[in-house]
Structure 1
Amino acid sequence: MRRYLLKRIPSALLVLLLASFVIFLILRLIPGDPATSLAGPDAPPDAVHAIRDRLGLDRPLPVQYGSWLGALLTGHLGPSYAIGGQVSDLIGNGLGATLELTAGALLLVVLLGGAFGLVGATSRNRAVQAALRVVTTGALAVPPFVSGVLLVLLLAVGLGVLPSGGYRPLSDAPDIAVQYLAMPALCLALPSAAVLGRYLRDGLERTLTEDYIRTATALGVTRRRIVRRHALPNALPPVVTVLGMQVGQLLGGAVLVEAIFAWPGLGQLAQQGVLRRDYPVVQDLLLLLVAVFVLVQLLTDAVYAWLDPRIRWE
């Protein structure tokens, strides 16, 4: 396993390097100027020029890109243009809340997706099958900004069982923090849970038609034991790959969900950075997202090979 991961590291680093170049270039192609935004629309050209000089925006783009990479390698991300403070501090302050939201959503994805897949593949009740199709189709079709509003109207306004927004750290009061976490995590998890459930259902349905499953059934092995001991382990490897891809979807969707539920994570920080054209904040956040996604893919491939003995580590 160690040899396999070491062979994948160069390609992962290359992906990060290419992603950094694309992120840096796209941000500079977006209309607008951070210096003008900071100085104000009525500022004289000399004031705008002074701000550009102070921020280093008047230097050639290759020099700016090299300075950014150097800062990343040394861990000194520098100051924010518009929000204020050091970028590393801003990211560190919001990272914990975003990780809590993503972890809670991932747990719900596994639980709900597993239930959708298992019930969809094993239930012979037509009403249950129809209900599952409606739920999974709705979870895929309804965007988070709609499902978030619906959840607030139902659970917070209508029933009053959960707070409509806000944040409490898990370390302070876990019982209260879970109440604040429940709705945003559910809103973020629903689309990914529907995707995972469909892949698991399809994988189980294919596996249950294999000859060895028929043989086990003929020998009198119960269906529950067949599913748990034989069908499910063989259907899991591709589902693990899908789950790894959904982690990236969860991190990306957290930006919108945090705005809906006033969750003080990296999503709100990214929103402020984009609106204020704060290049250091936005580009560091985007590259962090890519780095997390690449790391998750490495771990997913390792788990896939561990679950499927046909995959070799070489």
Structure 2
Amino acid sequence: MLRYSLRRVPSALVVLAVASVLVFCVLRLAPGDPAVVLAGPDASADTVAEVRASLGLDSSLPAQYWTWLTGLLTGDLGTSFILGAPNATLIGRGLGNTLELALAAVALALVGGGAAGIALGTSRRRTVRTLLGGAVSLALAVPPYVTGVLLVLVFAVTWRVLPASGHESLLADPEIGVQYLLLPAVCLALPTGAVLARFLAASLRRAREDEYVKTATAKGLSRRRLLGRHVLPGALPPVVSVLGIQIGQLLGGAIVVEAVYAWPGLGQLLLQAVIGRDYLLVQDLLLFAVAVFVAVQTLTDLAQAALDPRVRTGGAV
């Protein structure tokens, strides 16, 4: 297992290196000039040039990339052009709120998606499978920004049981914090839970066709014991891989959800940086998102290898 873990590290580092180059280059292709935004629309050409020089944008692209990369390696993320604060401080301030939202969404997706997937994969009632299948398809089909608006209309405007937007720390006031957290967490969890339910149901159906499961059934094992001891453990490895991908994509979904619910997280910060053409902050946030995705994928691969020895032995048994 240790050897398999060490083999994953070089590939993760290569992905991060390539991602840093792509992020840097793609942002330079976007229209707009942060120096013009910061100097103002009525600024003279000399003023814009001075602002550009103060931001380091008058250097060559390789020099700008090297400055950014060395700063990352030394822990200096730079200073936001627009907000005028250290990027590390801004990211750290929004990271806690985004983690709070993401962890709540993952918990809801695991509980709801897991229960729906088990019911879809094992239920003998056609009505149950039809209703759950329709609900899962609907959760996959409706985009988060539509789901978010519908949840606000139902629970905040019509029934008035939950706040429409905003944030309150769970540490400061848990009761109020949960009320603010519930709607965005449900909105973010729905597509993840739906994907999890689909894959878990399909994996359970495949696992039920394995020979060892048929043998256990012939020996007279109860349905619950058969599911818990044989079917579910055999169905989990591919589902864990899918779950890792979905968790890695939560940050992208959080951008939309945080905008709908005015949630002060990394998504809101990224949106603000993009609008202001804040190159350095956008670079840091995008590379951080890639790093999170790579880390989650690596942990997922390790978990899958722990559940299924064939993964770490290259398929050999």
Structure 2 length-normalised TM = 0.97
Deviation at 1:14, TM superposition (A): 0.9
Deviation at 1:251, TM superposition (A): 1.2
Letter of the aligned partner of 1:19 in structure 2? A
Deviation at 1:34, TM superposition (A): 0.5
Deviation at 1:311, TM superposition (A): 2.8
Is residue 116 of structure 2 the alignment partner of residue 113 of structure 1?
no
Alignment of 1:26-105 (within 5 A): 26-105=26-105
User: Residues 4-28 of structure 1: CA distance to partner in whole angstroms, max 9, x if unpaired?
Assistant: 2222111111110100000000101
Give the match's secondary structure for 2:232. Answer: helix
**Residues 210 and 7 (structure 1), Cα distance of their counterparts in 2 relative to 1, 3 Å cut:** closer
Letter of the aligned partner of 1:15 in structure 2? V
Alignment of 1:1-314 (within 5 A): 1-312=1-312
> Once structures 1 and 2 are overlaid, which stretch shifts more, 108-117 or 214-223?
214-223
User: Take 2:14 and 2:210, find their aligned partners in 1: how far apart are those partners?
Assistant: 41
Deviation at 1:248, TM superposition (A): 1.6
Is the contact made by 1:203 and 1:235 (CA closer than 8 Å) also made in structure 2?
yes
Give the match's secondary structure for 2:249. Answer: helix
Deviation at 1:161, TM superposition (A): 1.8
Deviation at 1:215, TM superposition (A): 2.0
Gapped regions of structure 1 (runs ≥ 5): none
Deviation at 1:54, TM superposition (A): 0.5
Is the contact made by 2:204 and 2:232 (CA closer than 8 Å) also made in structure 1?
yes
User: Take 1:311 and 1:204, find their aligned partners in 2: how far apart are those partners?
Assistant: 19
Is the contact made by 1:83 and 1:272 (CA closer than 8 Å) also made in structure 2?
no
Is the contact made by 1:216 and 1:226 (CA closer than 8 Å) also made in structure 2?
yes
> Once structures 1 and 2 are overlaid, which stretch shifts more, 235-244 or 75-84?
75-84
Letter of the aligned partner of 1:8 in structure 2? R
Is the contact made by 1:101 and 1:184 (CA closer than 8 Å) also made in structure 2?
yes
> Once structures 1 and 2 are overlaid, which stretch shifts more, 282-291 or 40-49?
40-49
Letter of the aligned partner of 2:209 in structure 1? T
User: Residues 89-148 of structure 1: CA distance to partner in whole angstroms, max 9, x if unpaired?
Assistant: 110110000000011111111111101110001111121111111111110100000000
Letter of the aligned partner of 1:278 in structure 2? D
- RMSD (CA atoms): 1.1
User: Take 1:311 and 1:273, find their aligned partners in 2: how far apart are those partners?
Assistant: 41
Is the contact made by 1:3 and 1:313 (CA closer than 8 Å) also made in structure 2?
no
Letter of the aligned partner of 2:131 in structure 1? A
Letter of the aligned partner of 2:149 in structure 1? V
Percent identity of equivalent pairs: 57
Structure 1 length-normalised TM = 0.98
User: Take 1:312 and 1:189, find their aligned partners in 2: how far apart are those partners?
Assistant: 31
User: Take 2:21 and 2:241, find their aligned partners in 1: how far apart are those partners?
Assistant: 27
Deviation at 1:313, TM superposition (A): 6.0
User: Take 1:204 and 1:4, find their aligned partners in 2: how far apart are those partners?
Assistant: 27
Deviation at 1:240, TM superposition (A): 0.2
Is the contact made by 1:140 and 1:195 (CA closer than 8 Å) also made in structure 2?
yes
